[in-house]
């Protein structure tokens, strides 16, 4: 049995601040994915919804929500929650159902109507919740710990605010070409430097916004795809949803301590690096095989770390790649050709799905002005709160 599943359809609702229900966004994205695949909603045998969240906590039962909005037709439903990794968990669940023979065709949907500003913790006293603790003990809002990561890179590797700004310039240039992006204006390094300081050394244009938006995928077995006449569809080859290993030498907020079920030697890799490594191992591929990557640029500095974590360069060499233009459109290994979160903002349940939508369009050769020539293999990478890994390898 092959581990591949076909991506028959990909759809999005444009991201922004629209002031409407997440259900409307998700339904629009789902219908776009169905239309892209040429599949009638009544043929869908399963719906997997990435739960819409409120401040890090599940807010709605997304699978049934979208099945009802599209019109009850008897499909099985599943809802998953993994914060920013929810979309990857939803894809993993859909793939498992397909490979287990429980469904031939599965709709995966994620959507959100995000609050204005940064994500704050929900109310109440929760001393056993690491996300609540980092707000209460450290006052560490998301921008605050983005700034801590940036300071760490500056101290260890000599990165500079000017390096971080180059990431925003690159992603804004790509986002300007993407009709689904919220921000479609090119910016200069001077624009970044002139924007307000939010969490030193990061400025407003270094940090992603919160957004409304949605993304959806229509996945199927390879046999179903062939029966539909899709002889060479984009395929999902690997899905990584690993958790950290003990001990974690560098803490990832909100996890402010490590624990273990056994005494073990330190891992040679960081948590983020282990996410990509697991995907490569399952796919039987490596970073040298990539045509492009979509990574989780919560801040410009964090994108540089992902270059290293997915194996595009050695530790501390991320800034060198962006200075050389290697990760820009037209570069050796383009990263975030969608425009990334810098151009979209965070619509949490949809983020990992949106990354795979971009890989799908790139691997089909239908990405328009932002097309990576000859794209054949791509990886996505992000992580969710509470130790949720997320990486997907797609090929064609």
Q: Which residues of 186-300 form beta strands (DSSP E)?
A: 197-199, 202-203, 212-220, 234-240, 292-295
Please compute the mean of the pLDDT values over residues 27-49 and round it to a whole number: 97
From 261, 237, 257, select the one nearest 249 (Cα to Cα): 257
Residue 256 reports pLDDT greater than 70: no
Query: Distance between CA 312 and CA 321 in Å, rounded?
Result: 9
Instruction: Write down the pLDDT at residue 385.
Output: 80
Q: What is the pLDDT of residues 121-138, one digit of tens each?
A: 667 787 887 778 888 877
Query: Distance between CA 276 and CA 161 in Å, rounded?
Result: 27
CB environment 207-240: b (16+ within 10 A), e (fewer): bbbbbbbbbbbbbbbbebbeebebeebbbbbbbb
Q: Which residues of 67-223 form beta strands (DSSP E)?
A: 76-80, 105-113, 197-199, 202-203, 212-220
- Cα–Cα distance list, 360 to 174, 240, 367, 395 (Å): 16, 18, 9, 9
Residue 287 reports pLDDT greater than 80: yes
Residue with the larger pLDDT of the pair 62 and 256: 62
Residue 112 reports pLDDT greater than 70: yes
Contact 212, 347 (CB under 8 A): yes
The token duo for 371 is 């097309």
Instruction: Write down the pLDDT at residue 54.
Output: 57
Full-model pTM: 0.94
Instruction: Write down the pLDDT at residue 59.
Output: 54
Residue 252 reports pLDDT greater than 80: no
The token duo for 9 is 């359809």
Q: What is the pLDDT of residues 324-356, one digit of tens each?
A: 999 999 999 999 999 999 999 999 999 999 999
């Amino acid at each position: 049995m092959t581990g591949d599943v076909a991506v028959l359809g990909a759809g999005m609702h444009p991201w922004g601040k629209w002031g409407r229900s997440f259900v409307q966004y998700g339904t629009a994205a789902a219908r776009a994915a169905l239309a892209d695949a040429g599949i009638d909603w009544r043929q869908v045998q399963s719906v997997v919804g990435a739960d819409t969240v409120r401040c890090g906590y599940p807010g709605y039962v997304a699978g049934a929500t979208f099945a009802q909005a599209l019109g009850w037709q008897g499909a099985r439903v599943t809802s998953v929650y993994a914060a920013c990794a929810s979309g990857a968990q939803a894809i993993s669940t859909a793939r498992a159902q397909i490979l287990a023979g429980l469904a031939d065709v599965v709709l995966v949907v994620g959507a959100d109507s995000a609050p204005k500003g940064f994500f704050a913790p929900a109310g109440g006293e929760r001393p056993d919740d690491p996300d609540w603790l980092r707000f209460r003990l450290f006052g560490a809002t998301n921008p605050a710990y983005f700034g801590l990561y940036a300071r760490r890179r500056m101290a260890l590797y000599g990165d500079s605010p000017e390096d971080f700004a180059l990431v925003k310039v690159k992603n804004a240039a790509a986002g300007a070409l993407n009709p689904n992006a919220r921000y479609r204006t090119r910016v200069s390094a001077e624009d970044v430097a002139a924007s307000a300081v939010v969490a030193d050394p990061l400025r407003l244009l270094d940090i992603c916004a919160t957004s409304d938006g949605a993304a959806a995928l229509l996945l199927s077995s390879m046999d179903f795809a062939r029966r539909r006449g899709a002889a060479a569809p984009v395929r999902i080859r690997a899905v990584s949803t690993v958790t950290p290993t003990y001990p974690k030498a560098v803490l990832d907020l909100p996890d402010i301590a490590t624990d273990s079920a056994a005494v073990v030697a330190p891992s040679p890799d960081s948590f983020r690096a282990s996410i990509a490594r697991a995907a490569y191992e399952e796919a039987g591929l490596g970073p040298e095989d990539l045509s492009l990557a979509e990574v989780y640029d919560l801040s410009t500095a964090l994108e540089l770390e992902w270059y290293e974590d997915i194996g595009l360069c050695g530790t501390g060499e991320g800034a060198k790649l962006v200075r050389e233009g290697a990760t820009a459109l037209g570069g050796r290994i383009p990263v975030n050709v969608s425009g990334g979160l810098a151009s979209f903002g965070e619509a949490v349940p949809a983020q990992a799905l949106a990354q795979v939508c971009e890989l799908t369009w790139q691997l089909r050769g239908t990405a328009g002005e932002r097309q990576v020539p000859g794209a054949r293999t791509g990886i996505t990478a992000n992580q969710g709160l509470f130790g949720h890994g997320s990486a997907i390898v797609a090929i064609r």
